[in-house]
Structure 1
Amino acid sequence: METSGVEKRRGVVLVPCPFQGHITPMLQLGWILHSKGFSIHIAHTKFNSPNPSNLPHFTFLPLSDYLDGCDTSFHNLLNVMSVINTNCEAPFQEYMMKMVGEEEVCGQPVACIIYDSIMQFAEAVANRLKLPSIVLRTTTAAYMHSHNVMFQLLAENLVPLPAESQLEAAIPQVYPLRFKDLPLPATIEIPQPVLDFLHSYMDIRSSSAVIWNTMDQLDHWALQQLQQDWPVPFFSIGPFHKMAPAIPTSLLEEESGCLSWLDKQAPNSVIYVSLGSLAIIDEKKLIEMARGIAKSEQPFLWAVRPSLLNGSDAIKSLPEDFMKITQERGMVVQWTPQKKVLAHPAVGGFLTHCGWNSTLESMCEGVPLICMPCFSDQLVNARYLTYVWRVGMELENAGERSIQEAIRTLMVSEEGDAIRQRALHMKREIERSINEGGSSYDSLYRLVEFITSLPGTK
């Protein structure tokens, strides 16, 4: 896809949300657009700031967020997002006014602002300056649609449910979701601030388009449903990490030594275990996981980041005899270069929280999953992985015995082999989508044409 010299000078401003699952796809999108001739500017919070030296072709602007001393733990995320949206608006507007004022001097007119759907201040500034804005959705369309389902159930007074026993019931007309798969608990009253945030999160306001890190093959039905609510162009160009070069985006230090350990393992023999960058569990669940992994008797690589337990070092909290029992066939690290791990021929399965980045990375390598969702989109992802895409196993009970049996089923049974074959078929489908003539390839072409056609500043 060729671009003219004028188009090569057009600037695109990206505004990522400062958490790993959001920063990574936004930076990957930046690389994709940079490869198509756009000048990329990253307006980011000082909290969880990306490393500019890793991306020398981008221009970085740190936004004062005044989060120093603020509780940024998992349990305070809603307040953190509110503080960011309040405090970052003024410095972002100042930056954008400067950019717009320098357009004629630098020869890089601003084409648009692309913002994470949580960073709502960016859209407000775009409106004020009469700049086009595009919203990035870093989750599946199925997850976004689940919010509309939940709002409808609330409006019809069908939730909260009167009894927890009803959580297993299917939600009418939204197969395969059950009430327990909704993005918020279905048996309690949802606080109004949470509902207000979600309504705002779902609103695209005056955005000119929506970019999705997903594929039509995975999300076709949900995309169709959402298109009825948001009558703007949709661009499903995922998976981003396969459309962009391998770039360092991790906020945590990766321990690459685990790759040498994997080199010594037999093909498809290792179960890789990671619950992502944000989820937390209690010590009881950590111990149950450790015992289940040990009793499975399978080789394993386990990423146990220190903050996995709230308030204490997770690795130090593992059972005393765990390392001794498993030292001949397992490796525990704090963090891994996950995409390289999942691409390694020794890895035959992934016990995961089902965050969307992890899910995509696993499906792209044909690695089947054991689904242990913790919150939010992970619940919807897990359900689709097991009942629609059928490349994963659902871990309904995260106890020791369930984990042991799930690992053995996936790694050494005929049922596991069947799931693995479907995962390999999914890998081929994804490869077709990003190659010439595929849906993501074509959608990217249309996105570049769309951004190029935008009037920019008015």
Structure 2
Amino acid sequence: MENPNDVVSLPAMPVLQVKELPSFILPDDPLIMKKVLSDLFRRLDNIIWVLGNSFDALEIDVVALMASINAPIIPIGPLVSPFMLGKEETVAGNVDIWSVEDYCIEFLDKKPISSVVYISFGSINVLTQDQMDNVATALKNSNRPFLWVIKPPEKISGMKSGELPTGFLEETKDRGLVVKWCPQERVLMHSSVACFVTHCGWNSTLETVVGGVPVVAFPKWSDQPIDAKLLVDVLKMGVKMRIYGDDDGVFSDRVVERCIAEVADIGLKAAEMKKRAVALKEAAKKAVADGGSSDINIDRFISEIEAVSC
């Protein structure tokens, strides 16, 4: 693999280090992913429309570039639960992978505004034992309320997950809650949540933007590194955990605690991140409202389909 610290310049994008590119385009990623992408790109010449789960204000430079070269990409997002956009649910049930633990909302209801650290690394990522220990130590030392989603080991195929340190639950039971899963959209919309410690998958990225919640980013693979770059360096609504050692993905408990404090503390920098996050939340709502950019794009897409069909 190339030096991960080498830089890459792409149109309408910030300068990226190689390690910030999507992992599936790097040389050491499985060949099957390269074949999938190669097949996809070959078919793009015959595609009229590509609907993108994003919105103009979120990726304004990229959207402008795509329009200037007549690329068939149409932002129609954010595609999140209607609940997050202030609309009534139109589909019965929910789309969570495992059963939702609603009592975590009751836990949040009892906490002060902007006080709770929410931690979730998605449905696939797992933490090593060192990572698990360091996150736990940071939460214990921070003395902050927290809600931590940890997937049950039996749900993780072929990957060994770290376990909570002995005594952690007992030591933090008065201010923390650990669950197997939770209704993330409802959590991110809750007023007690101060920040989101996240892997930066695209779904979680959109949900934290729509929720107006600042982030502590810990990307690992796939699109997560470049999503973290967008949130932290472009949108400026969070910070990124810096690893140490031989690029093994290990971060110290002090790094975790410092990142959480930087985003969640009362101070100018944290206030600016929150202000930016709230502004993007409003922009997301406007995009899908009547006359918003995504609403217009969907109407245009439908009109073009009708024209082609006639």
Query: TM-score if structure 2 supplies the norm length?
Result: 0.84
Checking the alignment, whether the CA contact within 8 Å between 1:208 and 1:232 is kept in structure 2 is no
Is 2:39 the counterpart of 1:200?
Answer: yes
| Aligned counterparts of 1:191 and 1:273: Cα–Cα separation in 2 | 29
Could you give the per-residue CA deviations for residues 274-296 of structure 1, whole angstroms, max 9, x where no partner exists? 00111223222122221122222
Checking the alignment, whether the CA contact within 8 Å between 2:128 and 2:161 is kept in structure 1 is no
Residue 168 of structure 1 corresponds to which residue in structure 2? 5
Could you give the per-residue CA deviations for residues 245-284 of structure 1, whole angstroms, max 9, x where no partner exists? 5341122111111001111000000011000111223222
Partner of residue 356 from structure 1, selected from 202, 213, 238:
202
Residues 1:185 and 1:448: Cα distance change in structure 2 (over 3 Å): closer
The total of aligned residue pairs comes to 291
Shift of 1:399: 2.4
Shift of 1:319: 0.4
Residue 435 of structure 1 corresponds to which residue in structure 2? 289
| Aligned counterparts of 1:376 and 1:233: Cα–Cα separation in 2 | 23
Residue 258 of structure 1 corresponds to which residue in structure 2? 104
Listed as ranges, the matches of 1:43-442 within 5 Å are 160-161=1-2, 164=3, 167-173=4-10, 174-184=13-23, 189-190=28-29, 192-205=31-44, 206-226=46-66, 233-241=72-80, 242=82, 245-246=88-89, 247=91, 248-307=94-153, 317-397=163-243, 398-414=251-267, 415-442=269-296
Identical-pair percentage: 28
Q: Give the AA of the match of 1:425.
A: A
| Aligned counterparts of 2:130 and 2:261: Cα–Cα separation in 1 | 22
Checking the alignment, whether the CA contact within 8 Å between 2:23 and 2:223 is kept in structure 1 is no
| Aligned counterparts of 1:232 and 1:171: Cα–Cα separation in 2 | 22
Shift of 1:185: 7.9
Checking the alignment, whether the CA contact within 8 Å between 1:287 and 1:319 is kept in structure 2 is yes
Shift of 1:204: 4.1
Larger relative CO (CA 8 A, sep 6+): 1 or 2? Answer: 2
SS in 2 for 1:254: coil
Residues 1:270 and 1:446: Cα distance change in structure 2 (over 3 Å): same
| Aligned counterparts of 2:51 and 2:287: Cα–Cα separation in 1 | 16
Shift of 1:237: 1.0
Residues 1:189 and 1:331: Cα distance change in structure 2 (over 3 Å): closer
SS in 1 for 2:23: coil
Checking the alignment, whether the CA contact within 8 Å between 2:196 and 2:215 is kept in structure 1 is yes
| Aligned counterparts of 2:35 and 2:217: Cα–Cα separation in 1 | 30
Query: TM-score if structure 1 supplies the norm length?
Result: 0.58
Gaps of 5+ in 1: 1-159
Residues 1:313 and 1:320: Cα distance change in structure 2 (over 3 Å): farther
Q: Give the AA of the match of 1:427.
A: K
Q: Give the AA of the match of 1:432.
A: K
Bigger CA radius of gyration: 1
Checking the alignment, whether the CA contact within 8 Å between 1:176 and 1:387 is kept in structure 2 is no
Checking the alignment, whether the CA contact within 8 Å between 2:122 and 2:199 is kept in structure 1 is yes
Shift of 1:416: 1.5
Could you give the per-residue CA deviations for residues 381-415 of structure 1, whole angstroms, max 9, x where no partner exists? 10011111111111122321111111122111412
Residues 1:329 and 1:217: Cα distance change in structure 2 (over 3 Å): same
Is 2:291 the counterpart of 1:445?
Answer: no
SS in 2 for 1:385: helix
Residues 1:254 and 1:191: Cα distance change in structure 2 (over 3 Å): closer
| Aligned counterparts of 1:418 and 1:390: Cα–Cα separation in 2 | 8
SS in 1 for 2:147: strand
SS in 2 for 1:240: coil
Aligned residues: CA RMSD: 2.6
Shift of 1:371: 0.5
Residues 1:204 and 1:346: Cα distance change in structure 2 (over 3 Å): farther
| Aligned counterparts of 1:399 and 1:202: Cα–Cα separation in 2 | 40
Gaps of 5+ in 2: 244-250
